[in-house]
Chains A and B, each alone.
Chain A
Amino acid sequence: MSEVTYKDFLFTEKLPLFWCPGCGDGILLGAILRSFAKLGYKKNNTVVVTGIGCWGKGDDYITTNIFHGTHGRALPFATGIKLANPELNVIALMGDGDGATIGGNHFIHAARRNVDVTAIIVNNFNYGMTGGQYSGTTPESSITSTSRYGHIEPAFDLCKLAEAAGAPYVARGSVYNVVQLQKLVEEALLKKGFSLLEVVAPCPTHFGRLNSMKKPVEMYKWIKDNSVSIASAEKLSPEEKENKFVLGKFVDKNSVDYSTKYQHIIDSVSLKVSEGGDKNAE
């Protein structure tokens, strides 16, 4: 048998990608599919769960099992899938509006429960699919199609949110730093337990155009110029750190996942029942 490559996971007949020129989603898709191949994932044992949005269309190009559900709800669908069959590799692909705004509640609870799901959230700072409205991660004072006078809400830091909720793996990459991104995707997939990978990405069509970055390359440059490593960020003052994309791995710890804990309960109660009979029988 020939070696498995990312192409085995890519739905080639559905190409070209529907995303806008300059979009970062294709870069991330490549990193994910290369990771599937490298880690020896089996298509029939892998489920990619998506929400709704630009990145939520990612499953259109993936040949594994897929579940394309509703806006914001990828994680609860993924939770059901994983708990029903813990042998599956379950990956949830979400955008910032999808996974962290309308789906914000599911996000913190999935992290808290430590369900063994890999959540990959593309953060492009706005709702791209519907025309560039502001989301829960839109930077304060930026312009979107629904914040024409400057956005007045502060943005969520998704990594801090996941860390506070107890996720055992939390990292942030960007589509500009592809080598690092590839490594973080692999780590997030390998991690037993809930892992969050936030991926900073451009939306040149909407966010870029409205915020003085007329060409895609300008938006990539903006991401590059504002990205700092965790080590470098430690040397910055809080003011200097503002509006910077701190890239790297924030949390990587071992923590028993939900399915493993629940299996302990099943093992202990089904043992008791077989010893003592059905205590519900009257």
Chain B
Amino acid sequence: MEFRSSVRFMQGNAAITEGALAAGARFYAGYPITPSTEIAEISSERLPQLGGIYIQMEDEIASIAAIIGASAAGKKCYTATSGPGFSLMQENLGVAVIAEIPCVIIDVQRSGPSTGLATKPAQGDFMQSRWGTHGDHGIIVLSPSSVEDCYYLMVKAFNFAEKYRTPVVFLADEMIGHLKERAILNEIKPEDIINRSQPVCDPKDYKTFDFGDGGIAPLASYGSDYIVRLSGTTHDETGYPNIKPENADRFIRHYTDKIEKNKKDIVITRKYNMEDAEYAIITFGCSTRSALEAMEMLRAEGEKIGILELVTLWPFADEQVLEVCKQVKAVFVPEMNLGQLIGEVKKYNPKNIPIVGINKVNSLSIHPIEIINTILEVKKCQR
């Protein structure tokens, strides 16, 4: 089937699905949950057309298990859910971490806790995406702020998953998932797609987890010439359980290091008008839309406002945030939660400038005026 690059008027969730397919994903397992269901519905129609598989599992625990299994058998895999389902996935997300299995988990965030405001947007899973599964680990989390992002960032998500043998969380939100806007979807060229590295050694020498000196071990698939031993138990290079303290230390550090030490490659940020900015907004996801609007209105009044948008949420963009905090007089962090990103931003504030949250959890998006008023108020106090 030929891909036709085109200007489209489409929904975020639809673009997420097209992005996954463009990246080469051919296996979806999931459980329906608002506001992510369009991803399941479109996947169920599109995947068999491409020779891929869609399966609806009995719950989210089974869904993430199925994509991990299918990935081990060689498919690029994804699942989509929202907060409650993402919570259920946390234990097996740890399996993907420790067994180093590429997969992409889409969380279209909604208002919680629990069932909460089931159809309403929120950004309350920022920390869950980082620390939801137990134990020390690194994780890659990407967050889209437009429909085009949904498409192109999904390709990035799969590329990171394959390159680093890791689960990647695609942290969208109801607003972006259900947003319909103009988007140009270009074909993804084969050279822009990364596939997991394959072993080249003699099959008898292959070790499933031999990452050598800080690299990433090649991952053979079940059914290849290689024997693949994958385990959620702390193991050595062979995949066999190993409880020696020095082995545990080496491997557990590896799960963090392989992500944190590759920040230069993984961290994606966008700057808007930061060149001459005296005040900055640090933002992600749907809140970026409000921030952009607020910035434009303030710029029209002559205020020097800039934005740092975090596209990669984890690993954290510490260098970029530090640079902004050194440059400006105050930083504003709008979030549809009670302050999750802001805590991270505050860690990189050497001049001790005001870092001010604009937080909303009532299901309504952050209005640009709310950001503007906060900025003007702080500015007035600083004079």
B-contacting residues of A (Cβ < 8 Å)? Answer: 14, 43-45, 47, 49, 60, 63-70, 73, 75-85, 87-88, 105-106, 109, 262, 265-266, 269-270, 273-274, 278, 280-282
Contact = CB atoms under 8 A, between A and B. Distances in A.
A73 B91 CA distance: 11
Contact of A63 (B52, B223, B227): B227
A49 B1 contact: no
Given A85-B223, A281-B4, A80 B73 contact: yes
Q: Which of B2, B58, B225 has the most chain A CB atoms inside 10 A of its CB?
A: B58
B231 A66 contact: yes
Return the 4 tightest CB-CB contacts between A and B, nearest first.
Answer: A80-B69, A80-B66, A76-B65, A84-B73
A84 B70 contact: yes
Contacts of A109: 57-58, 62
Contact of B227 (A43, A69, A84): A43
Contacts of A82: 69
B65 A84 contact: no
A265 to B, nearest CB: 5
Contacts of A83: 27, 53, 55, 66, 70
Contact of A282 (B1, B6, B67): B6
Nearest to B66: A80
A65 B70 contact: no
Interface stretch (B167-175, B232-240, B262-270, B314-322): B232-240
A67 B1 contact: no
Contacts of A68: 230-233
A63 B222 CA distance: 13
23 contacts: A14-B240, A44-B224, A44-B226, A63-B227, A65-B228, A66-B230, A67-B69, A67-B72, A67-B99, A69-B95, A79-B29, A79-B69, A80-B66, A80-B77, A82-B69, A83-B27, A84-B27, A84-B74, A88-B222, A266-B52, A269-B49, A273-B1, A280-B45
B8 A85 contact: no
B239 A66 contact: yes
Interface string B231-251: 111000001110000000000
A83 B26 CA distance: 11
A43 B77 CA distance: 25
Given A76-B69, A282-B6, A84 B53 contact: yes
A60 B241 CA distance: 8
A3 to B, nearest CB: 20
A22 to B, nearest CB: 23
Given A69-B92, A76-B62, A87 B69 contact: no
Contacts, number: 144
Interface residues of chain B: helix, strand, loop or mixed (majority)? mixed
Nearest to A105: B58
A78 B69 contact: yes
B249 to A, nearest CB: 21
Given A67-B72, A79-B55, A265-B48, A87 B1 contact: no
Contacts of A282: 6, 8
B81 to A, nearest CB: 15
A265 B55 CA distance: 12
A88 B2 CA distance: 31
Nearest to A278: B1
Contact of B48 (A45, A85, A270): A270
Nearest to A56: B233
A106 B70 CA distance: 16
Interface string B68-99: 11111111010000000000000110010001
Nearest to B229: A66
Contacts of B71: 80, 84
Given A68-B233, A76-B61, A109-B62, 11 more contacts: A44-B226, A44-B227, A49-B69, A68-B232, A76-B58, A76-B62, A80-B29, A83-B27, A109-B58, A266-B52, A278-B49
B281 to A, nearest CB: 35
A181 to B, nearest CB: 26
Contacts of A81: 69-70, 72-73, 222
A70 B94 CA distance: 10
B181 interface: no
A99 B27 CA distance: 25
B67 A80 contact: yes
Contacts of A105: 58-59, 62
Contacts of B59: 105
B222 A47 contact: yes
A34 to B, nearest CB: 20
Contacts of B61: 73, 76
A117 B62 CA distance: 15
Contacts of A47: 73, 222
B107 to A, nearest CB: 19
A106 B69 CA distance: 14
